[in-house]
Amino acid sequence: QSALTQPASVSGSPGQSITISCTGTSSDVGGYNYVSWYQQHPGKAPKLMIYDVSNRPSGVSNRFSGSKSGNTASLTISGLQAEDEADYYCCSYTSSTTVVFGGGTKLTVL
């Protein structure tokens, strides 16, 4: 299985919005609404931010939102804050009953 495709880096200024894309195939992202997103700060374990494409776990800010169109999922962060600077990973369930991650995107808050 091939890793999902994410941009290596994105950046934005405080208060702005950014979107991170995650492109897969009809066997993963496009075939299921089982896309999740994770935030990872340096030296820390990842944290679940979005599940089932667009749902937020309890405690996650509503500045984080997710969506999907075809084989591409997206994570949008609005009202950027300095604490949002981190690596972000998308993840999808696949038709082989396995799981695949994206390569990760480094978000820089300017």
Partner 1 sequence: QVQLQESGPGLVKPSETLSLTCTVSGGSISSYYWSWIRQPPGKGLEWMGYMYYSGSPDYNPSLKSRITISVDTSKNQFSLKVNSVTAADTAVYYCVGWNYALRAFDIWGQGTMVTVSS
> Which residues of the shown chain bind partner 1 in the complex (CB under 8 A)?
1, 3, 32, 34, 36, 38, 40, 45-48, 51-52, 55, 57, 89, 91, 93, 96-104
Half-sphere exposure for 18 (CA within 13 Å, toward CB):
21
- Other CB atoms closer than 10 Å to residue 64's CB: what's the count? 17
By beta-carbon proximity to partner 1, the closer residue of 47 and 63 is 47
Residue with tokens 């999902």: 4
Residue 63 CB, nearest distance to partner 1 (Å)? 19
**Which DSSP state fits 3?**
P
Interatomic CA distance for residues 19 and 14, integer angstroms: 14
Type of residue found at 7 = P
User: 3-class DSSP state for residue 54?
Assistant: coil
By beta-carbon proximity to partner 1, the closer residue of 1 and 19 is 1
Residue 101 CB, nearest distance to partner 1 (Å)? 5
Residue 55 CB, nearest distance to partner 1 (Å)? 8
Residue with tokens 């896309």: 35
By beta-carbon proximity to partner 1, the closer residue of 30 and 46 is 46
By beta-carbon proximity to partner 1, the closer residue of 90 and 109 is 90
